[in-house]
Structure 1
Amino acid sequence: MATQRTRLVPHILLVLLSTCAAAGPPAPPSNLECYRPCDEKECSLIRCKWTPNPKINSSYHLYWMPANNMDGSITSEYSSDGIIYREQFPSDGDFRVWVEASNQYGSVRSQEILLNAEHIIKPPPPTFSSSSQDPLQIYWGSQEDPLEIHWGTICNNLQRQVGTCDVRYNTEDNQKFGFEDGLCSTYSVLDPQPGTIYEFQVRCACDSSLMSDWSKVLRIKSPESAPVGEVDVWRDCDVSSAGHNCFLTWKNLSISQGRGLILVYEISIIYSDDNVKQMNVSALESSSLSAYNETMWRLSSSLKDVSTVSVSAYNALGATNATHLVVPLKGKDGNDQTIHLLITDQNLTVSWDLPPQFSDNLKQYVVQYKECSPRQTFDWIKVDTDETEVYFQGTFKKYTPYRVSMFAVSNMNEVYQLSTAIGYSAQGAPSMVPTFKLLSVTATDATLFWEPVPFSKQNGVISNYLVGVEKQQVYNVTVTPEHGNQTLELKNLSPAHDYKVWISAVTAAGPGVKVTQTFKTKQSSLSLLGFLLVIPVILLVCFVFFLLNAIQGKGSVCRFWPQCVYEKIPDPRNSHIFRQAKNQINESFTWNSIRTYEPHPKISLLEIVERTPIAVDSNGLTRPVMKEECSQMDYEDGRRVDVVPEECDRTDHRYGKGEYSKMDNSDEERNDCSSSSEEEHYTSGYEKHFMPSVLEILGD
């Protein structure tokens, strides 16, 4: 209830204010007019009219008195209808008339008018001599005869002379309007348009009295003749369809061209294979062959595979010249035109500049517009080649695109498209982009893809698209009226980084709704080309080293070959077991078995026994062997094992890296200090190669 009371407060205040404003004396009445309406026999009363003030509540009274009576003794008071009856006014003299408005705050008078009862007679409208029962009179004269009308008045019945009369007329399509005054009882149209319906009205006065009201409308149709000119033929193409279908359209003939009732349209269609098809479209009733929308016709069948069409209009007396049109477009003409659009809610103005040089081959320009919506309002105008502007009248909706196209028609009726533009009566912010996605992505680059906003949702001419990459950068992508799908390549991105991008269409009214998309760039890696270049280089280097190794020989060490590729041969001195054993021997000077421990290796105890070896000379005699030339005997697990001589069987005395196979199998590399056959029976090549000598253990 509180809300309703709040709403009522302004209304109450308005009523109070209007009441206060209306308080006060009334305003004087205006436009006082009096006349004596007459019927067939007499003019019995005087009727007066005036304009009251509707804002002030007042009562009105009509007053009159003789013009020569100054004391005001004769007055009369009447209601607002202002009627003075015959017995209340003088018939042979002048009198003054005024109106008085009054209320509780006072009264006021209008200006006085001076009247004479004989001069304010207003006769009834005249009547035409033809029958008023027929809504349409047919003039049966020939085409060369003038169109005449006749009328009569009641001035004679009123014992008055006929005064002057006025005539006004126009054609049914309002293409011609005429007015004549100072007439008596007849009027003639000297050069009427054939087959045209004329509408006439007449008013007359008696003597010097007032003019009567206008008579009723008289409609007369002039005689018909064969139609003239040509039918305005064009083609309506649906550019949004996949097949780009076109349909034949034509406009009704004007009354001046038709010169009578058009009965049928004759259409001749010539196909690309030279086949010809004739058809007649009735102009009086609906047909499946065509559609009609009060101003123009449209053929139901498409113009696919049609090369030429011609159209003629027939009435009862003849036909128009055939209008020919070449259906397929002949491409762009050399003189391209740039058109300028100015659209309001009620009209469309299309203008262009004249080309620097006229083409003698051009016959006319055709400017058409079509609404880009399901309704698809369509119209066209044909003008001469020296014109620079056309004007369409209609209803143009806001935020609705209209496609305006300009064509040139040659003398051979071939059609060339010159220009196309999109216009709006009022623009708004566009809708969102229907599709926005990532097309491709690498470590540093990405390609974005989007579809343009459809015409029905653009709400204006889209001038550009704004593409933003997070808050770092905004790209301005300019488009054309006929743009298609758009792409944008983003560069200098960070590898393995998450990005958020957005897009928005822009019109004259501003940007539309944003559409966002997220993506992540890939990890940085070597390019495929670099990978393909590195692999052959590595293979080439390996081949060179293998080749050099083969040249040096199997038994020698190549200085170009890296140490890592050889078979790893352990160096006894690198083992900390033997280092610990040497320290223990030096400290205790005992040659008992040495027990050392290493984290992982498994090794037997080594017992060192000093003895004097016996060597056999060439004469078969035995002799002691010197210490430097003697072998050392090991006992491992109860077996006697010969230790490899230090100076003879080692390729490198310092590192001990002689090959096992060479020491075990090659007789050429054995020196003269080899063990006897008995010792060889108990000594393996592995022990000779890997077991350290006493000098290695005790040496510095």
Structure 2
Amino acid sequence: MAAGWLLSILVVNMPILFAAAGPLEPPSKPECHIPCCDSCGVDIHCSWNHRFDPQVPTNYSLHWETLHSKEGRVDTGTSLSGLIDREHFFMNSELRVWAQAVSKHGSAKSQVIIFNTGDLVKPSSPVISWSPQDPLEISWSSICQDPHLSLGSCDVRFRPEVGKLWHEEEVGAQVIYEFSGLIPAGLVYEFQVRCSCATGMMSDWSATHRISYEKAPTGQMDVWRDCGMPATNIDCALIWKKLPLSQARGHILGYEVTLFSKHSTTAFVNISVAEPRGRLVCDELQCYLNSSLKSVSSASISAYNAHGATVPSYLTIAVPGEMRSEHPIDVRMNMANLTVSWELPSQLPEATSVKEFVVQYKEAGRLLGKGFDWIRVNKTCTTVTLTGRFEKYKPYQVSLFAVTSNQESHHISSVMEYSAHGIPAKVRSFKVTSIAATHATLFWEPALLSMQNGLILHYEIGVHGQTVYKVSTSPQDENKTFELPNLSPDEEYEVWIKAVTKAGPGANVTISFITKQQEHLELKSKSHVFAFLLLLCLPVIICCLLVLFSFHKGTSKACLCINENVPDPYNSTIFEMMKYQVNEPLAWICVPIHEPHPIMSMLEVVEIQRPVWERKCLPEDQTRPAVASEGYTRRTHRYGRDEYSKMVDSEEEKDVSGVAGRDDGSSSSEEEPDTSGYEQHFMPTAAEILDG
């Protein structure tokens, strides 16, 4: 196993071993010159390049041969440069030069170069100076300007500081260059110069020199307003694009903003770029005023630098009206481009005053001033393309406006579009709001706009997995209702709903419900229930009526409270004794009803002296008069009253008094009722006793 592992290592490293043991790669052709700095030298300086293995030591040598076949060499060790002393060559004569490399793997020789030694003079790089005057110009100095030399030709190249490509020009034997119209003001540019003497080589490029050329900014600001979504939101943000460098012509120090309110007041705001104090928010291309515009009707803005300011740009904030095109705008969108096309509305507001159209887009869910851009186009244009980075599955509201010459904007049309469509999210709050026998009303809320993942084409509603309805989504962001038809009464249904985009349908949301019965069946069912309850309660009602009737018949004449002259039950010993004898609910005020013809053996009566209108059954605290006792002086243990009037008659005495009365009286009680005290006030009549 160890042998196999070692073999695998050898196989892997074999190409490296063979490569290292291969022939040595030759060096590049030497480059030689005679430098002229403060003064021109006499020795020839040569240098070359070589690709070698740093693990293998390599030595180099510089070789030359004169016109007379005289060879020379100098060993340079591991250095890639060497010198040919003046004593080994003649000036203005031919010289052949090459380099050679030697290592343990062998030796290699570069290509041979042939040159005239008089052409090897190379001046040092020029030194640049400039003046910030108008027009802008630069100047330089060269060693070739020395008396013993003559200046040959110079080259100038320049580029913006942020650029990569150089713009190069040959200026001849000059030491000054004027940038008349070549460099816009406000940009930082980089410059380099190189020169040659009358004979010899071109110098290296000079050190990079940077200059900034400023003037007062020109043009006007491109100002607009971001009113969020929808486009007629009650609040807006004043937003503008930064001046291009060609218009800024220098470093923009700040902005002057004037706000005109609806109440005819004016507010002036000077915002410094260096110290915005939270009032200004900028990115690479745009800035917006971090202030509410609810009470602002219009605004103006200008940018300024150290040399001046732009002409103010005006914008009307309030949208005076809304106008719809017969043909909505057509939008095509991907993750890099947004192309908008439209047809000119048949009725433009003051068509002669329309100056331009504005196409804007706003990413849904972003704050004011964020995810927003616009472009202005000529009023004759009907198509425009905006570039940017549009996120997939994110909704963008694209709007078209017409702008008049007085900077009033009129909204024409808006659509929602996506750079890429995904599977939509579930709908929200799916429920049944009303249920009938043959139909039901469904309600749901669309998913949040930022979570729809694409343009909702329609909604699909399924019943029992069989019938599927397609419901329109217009308008996109409003709650939806749908009446589910052709249902059967008193049946359970399972209903699902899902949203559909270009990418396909989303997940289902399911609910269940039971339909109601038909109206006549419901009434019939209610009548059956009522009849059943009536039959169930009828015997109970009849029994209660019979009990009440019998009770009323047996007690109507026995209750003493129907008489105006009422015995006092609180002081009566008879009633006190009856309480222990009869266990009846009304025994404390009624004569027992089980005796058909009761025989009164003892009677206690008290006359209550009250007005006629008060002679009724009163509460017990008002029916306790003081009574006198006669023939029976026992004090009741409950009330302790001695005043009680009492009369005791036996049945025989009642008969005797009855005979005496008939003998003495000239007529019967039926003819002339006795109006004396006891019979009139306390004793019941014979007719009442017989009726009882």
TM-score normalised by structure 2 residue count: 0.61
Establish whether residue 311 from structure 1 lines up as the match of residue 311 from structure 2. no
Q: Match of 2:246, SS?
A: helix
Distance in 1 separating the partners of 2:267 and 2:395: 37
Which residue number in structure 2 is paired with residue 366 of structure 1? Answer: 358
Distance 1:409 1:240, change over 3 A: closer
* Residue aligned with 2:517, SS: coil
Deviation at 1:386, TM superposition (A): 3.6
TM-aligned CA distance change 1:336 to 1:268, over 3 Å: farther
Q: Quick check: 1:501 aligned with 2:495?
A: yes
Between the aligned partners of 2:328 and 2:11, the Cα distance in structure 1 is 59
Distance in structure 1 (CA, Å) of the matches to 2:429 and 2:271: 46
Q: Find out whether 1:155 has 2:144 as its counterpart.
A: yes
Does residue 1:86 correspond to 2:80, yes or no? no
Q: Which amino acid aligns with 2:210?
A: R
Given that residues 27 and 109 in structure 2 are in contact (C-alpha distance below 8 angstroms), is that contact kept between their aligned partners in structure 1?
no
- TM-superposed CA distance for 1:95, in Å, is 1.9
Whether the 8 Å contact between 1:326 and 1:413 is mirrored in structure 2 is yes
Deviation readout 1:555-601 (Å, 9 max, x if unpaired) = xxxxxxxxxxxxxxxxxxxxxxxxxxxxxxxxxxxxxxxxxxxxxxx
2:329 equivalent among 325, 332, 338: 338
2:28 touches 2:111 (CA, 8 Å); kept in 1?
no
Which of 287, 291, 310 is matched with 1:301 structurally? Answer: 291
Find the counterpart in structure 2 of residue 212 from structure 1.
203
Structure 1 residue 150: Cα displacement? 0.4
Q: 1:186 is matched with which residue?
A: 176
Distance in 2 between residues matched to 1:379 and 1:153, nearest whole Å: 52
Within the candidate set 331, 334, 341, 1:352 is matched to 341
Asked whether the 8 Å contact 1:196–1:255 carries over to 2, the reply is yes
Shift of 1:415: 0.6
- CA change 1:486–1:362 in 2 (3 A) is same
Counterpart position of 1:669: none
CA spacing shift, 1:53–1:353, aligned 2, 3 Å: farther
Q: Could you tell me which residue of structure 2 aligns to residue 95 of structure 1? A: 96
The reply on whether 1:224 has 2:215 as its aligned counterpart is: yes
Aligned to 2:256: 266
Task: Describe the shift of the 1:267–1:439 C-alpha distance in structure 2 as closer, same or farther (beyond 3 A).
Answer: same
Q: What letter matches 1:66 in structure 2?
A: E
In structure 1, C-alpha distance between the alignment counterparts of 2:509 and 2:11, rounded to whole Å:
52
Match of 1:239 among 207, 229, 242: 229
Q: Partner of 1:202: helix, strand, or coil?
A: strand
Looking at structure 1, the residues matched to 27 and 497 of structure 2 have their Cα atoms a distance apart, in angstroms, of: 67
Deviation track 1:108-158 (CA, whole Å, cap 9, x = no partner) reads 77765545555455544321135xxxxxx6x1x3xxx42221011223569
Q: Structure 1 residues 75, 300: closer, same or farther in 2, change over 3 A? A: same
After superposition, the C-alpha distances for 1:182-237 in whole angstroms (9 at most, x for unaligned) are 33211012246556554432222334544334323333344634x33212211111
- CA offsets 1:330-363 (integer angstroms, 9 cap, x no match): 312658662433333xx33434256498943221
Contact between 2:441 and 2:482, CA under 8 Å: does it hold in 1?
A: yes
How far does the alpha carbon of each residue in 1:653-676 deviate from its partner, in whole angstroms, 9 at most, with x for none? Answer: xxxxxxxxxxxxxxxxxxxxxxxx
Question: For structure 2, which runs of at least 5 residues remain unmatched after alignment?
Answer: 528-692
The verdict on how the C-alpha distance between 1:475 and 1:260 changes in structure 2, with shifts beyond 3 A counting, is same
Deviation (angstroms), 1:365: 2.1
Q: Which residue of structure 1 aligns with residue 668 of structure 2?
A: none
Give the conservation status (yes or no) of the 8 Å contact 2:156–2:169: yes
Cα pair distance change 1:502/1:63, threshold 3 Å = farther
RMSD: 4.6
Change in 2 beyond 3 A, CA 1:247/1:29: farther
* Residue 447 of structure 2 is aligned to residue 440 of structure 1: no
1:520 matched to 2:521: no
The equivalent of 1:34 in structure 2 is 31
What is the one-letter code of the residue matched to 2:482?
Answer: L
Q: CA, structure 1 residues 26+466, in 2 after alignment: closer, same or farther (shift >3 Å)?
A: farther
Instruction: Give the match's secondary structure for 2:85.
Output: helix
How many Å separate the matches in 1 of 2:337 and 2:251? 32
Task: Report the CA distance shift for 1:290/1:129 in structure 2 as closer, same or farther (over 3 A).
Answer: closer
1:464-506 per-position Cα deviation (integer Å, ceiling 9, x unaligned): 3343434324444443584422333333334444443333333
Distance 2:112 2:48 in 1: 13
Aligned AA (1:503)? I
Query: Do 2:64 and 2:96's aligned partners in 1 also have CA atoms closer than 8 Å?
Result: yes
- AA aligned to 1:526 is E
Q: Distance in 1 between matches of 2:476 and 2:375?
A: 24
Distance between the aligned counterparts of 1:59 and 1:388, measured in 2? Answer: 71
User: Match for residue 415 of structure 1?
Assistant: 409
- The structural deviation recorded for 1:458 is 2.7
The offset of 1:45, in angstroms, is 5.5
- State whether residues 26 and 56 of structure 1, in contact with CA within 8 Å, keep that contact through their aligned partners in structure 2: no
- Counterpart Cα distance in 2 of 1:118 and 1:310: 69
| Distance (Å, rounded) in 1 between the aligned partners of 2:155 and 2:371 | 43
8 Å CA contact 1:22, 1:56 repeated in 2: no
What does residue 291 of structure 1 align with?
A: 281
Is 1:146 aligned with 2:101?
A: no
Pairing partner for 2:157 from 168, 172, 177: 168
Q: How does 1:62-141 map to 2 (within 5 A)?
A: 64-66=63-65, 82-87=80-85, 90=89, 92-97=93-98, 113-116=113-116, 118-119=118-119, 122-130=122-130, 139=132, 141=133
Percent of residue pairs identical: 34
**Alpha carbons of structure 1 residues 470 and 185: separation in structure 2 relative to 1, 3 Å:** farther
Give the Cα separation in 2 of the matches to 1:472 and 1:418: 43
Aligned to 1:281: 271
Change in Cα spacing, 1:248 to 1:205, as seen in structure 2 (3 Å) is same
Query: Residue 83 of structure 1 aligns to which amino acid in structure 2?
Result: S
Q: Deviation of residue 436 (structure 1)?
A: 2.7
Assess if the C-alpha contact under 8 Å between 2:228 and 2:362 holds in 1. no
- Distance across 1 between alignment mates of 2:192 and 2:294: 52
Change (3 A) 1:511 1:155: farther
CA distance in 2, matches of 1:338, 1:402: 14
Change (3 A) 1:502 1:335: closer
Q: Distance in 2 between matches of 1:13 and 1:477?
A: 72
Assess, with a 3 A threshold, how the Cα gap between structure 1 residues 107 and 261 changes in structure 2: closer, same or farther: closer
Q: CA deviation at 1:255?
A: 3.8
CA deviation after TM superposition for structure 1 residue 253, in Å: 2.8
- The answer to whether the Cα contact below 8 Å between 2:30 and 2:97 also exists between their aligned partners in 1 is no
